């Protein structure tokens, strides 16, 4: 696959969103020429390995998978362009991508499916509208779905994240033990890998690029994963620089704790809005 197959949504004013058709991975979101997403300098664009950064699309499995790669096949599959970038009357720019079952996906997961991924680039916002459709006449399938967003930050130790107070979380740094979040704001000062359940619809991350705030609004994505490999795990990840961990934080909206169950002929929809404040 040509590793260079990217689609750019350009709103003018140095405000752009770049999507690599490999995984429909958003690899750049620039607002007035300020990059908002982290992509590792070691990221590999070989059309085989998931892109280390941006917004990998996790489906149909979050985490380890007996039948295929970690985090599923969607982030390592070639997506189609349903609609090339088009300027809307509002001045915003919209594009639509899709992925359907094929020999590659069926080699791991014998279900028919259709994913649609609509992106809308606004002045200071990026909108994500996702649809999962089960076209089968007889088979029901269950799946997980998550946007594995890598936010670029000057220093993750100075970031505070709202919207998890009182929520239960699975702590993958402590053998998956379950705890309740007692803090008003979550901070990251060590290896962090947590699956928060039933979180608020809105998260605010402080001290992102140029000291601004990032607002995440999510719909039908009840869970939020927070991840930073810190120094110890950064060294273990081949396509991640040993010294890059202070400059990223993953805040990932998804549906992972309780899988999505799709009966024949039914669909699931979810969306996320990222806003630079
Ligand atoms: O979303 C957090 C997480 O599941 C972590 O456990 C860590 O493995 C991270 O994803 C990165 O996964 P990857 O397969 O991209 O190396």
Residue 239: give its domain's CATH number: 2.70.98.10
Mean pLDDT across 212-230: 98
Domain that holds residue 250: 6-153+232-272
Q: What is the mean pLDDT of the chain?
A: 97
pLDDT (0 to 100) of residue 4: 60
Q: Is 52 annotated as a binding-site member?
A: yes
DSSP line for the chain: --TT-EEEEE-STT-EEEEETBTTEEEEEEETTEE-B-B-TT---SSSSPPSBSB-EEBS--S--SSSSTTBSGGGSBPEEEEEEEE-TTS-EEEEEEEE--HHHHTT-----EEEEEEEE-SSEEEEEEEEE---SS--EEEEEEE--EEE-S-GGG--B-S-TT-EEEETTTTTEEEE---SSB---S-EEEEE-S--SEEEE-S-GGG--EEEEEES--EEEEEE-HHHHHTT-TTS-TT-GGGEEEEEEEEEEEEEEE-TT-EEEEEEEEEE-
Q: Is residue 53 part of a domain?
A: yes
pLDDT, tens digit, for every residue of 228-245? 999 999 999 999 999 999
Q: Is residue 205 part of a domain?
A: no
pLDDT at 117 over 60: yes
To test ligand 1's pocket by mutation, which of 50, 70, 171, 192 has the most ligand atoms within 8 angstroms of CB? 70
How many domains, in total, are found in the chain? 1
Q: Is residue 173 part of a domain?
A: no
Q: Is residue 161 part of a domain?
A: no
Q: Is 71 in the pocket of ligand 1 (CB under 6 A)?
A: yes
| Closest atom, ligand 1, to C-alpha of 227 | 2
pLDDT (0 to 100) of residue 10: 98
To test ligand 1's pocket by mutation, which of 40, 51, 71, 250 has the most ligand atoms within 8 angstroms of CB? 71
Q: Is 75 annotated as a binding-site member?
A: yes
């Amino acid at each position: 696959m040509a590793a260079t197959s990217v689609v750019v949504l350009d709103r003018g004013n140095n405000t752009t969103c770049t999507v690599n058709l490999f995984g429909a991975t958003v690899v750049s979101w620039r607002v007035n020429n300020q990059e908002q997403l982290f992509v590792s300098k070691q990221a590999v664009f070989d059309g085989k390995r998931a892109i280390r950064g941006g917004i990998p699309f996790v489906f149909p499995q979050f985490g380890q998978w007996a039948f295929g790669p970690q985090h599923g096949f969607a982030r390592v599959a070639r997506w189609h362009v349903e609609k090339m970038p088009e300027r809307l009357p509002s001045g915003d720019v919209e594009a639509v991508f899709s992925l359907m079952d094929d020999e590659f996906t069926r080699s791991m997961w014998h279900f028919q499916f259709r994913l649609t991924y609509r992106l809308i680039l606004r002045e200071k916002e990026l909108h994500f509208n996702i649809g999962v459709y089960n076209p089968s006449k007889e088979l029901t399938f269950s799946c997980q779905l998550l946007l594995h967003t890598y936010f670029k930050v000057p220093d993750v130790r100075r970031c505070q994240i709202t919207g998890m107070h009182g929520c239960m979380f699975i702590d993958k740094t402590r053998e998956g033990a379950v705890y309740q979040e007692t803090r008003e704001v979550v901070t990251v000062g060590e290896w962090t890998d947590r699956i928060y359940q039933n979180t608020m619809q809105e998260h605010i991350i402080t001290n992102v690029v140029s000291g601004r705030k990032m607002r995440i609004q999510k719909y039908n994505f009840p869970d939020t994963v927070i991840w930073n490999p810190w120094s110890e795990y950064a060294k273990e990840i081949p396509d991640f620089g040993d010294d890059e961990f202070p400059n990223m934080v993953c805040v990932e909206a998804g549906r992972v704790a309780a899988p999505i169950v799709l009966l024949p002929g039914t669909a699931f929809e979810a969306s996320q809005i990222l806003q630079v404040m």
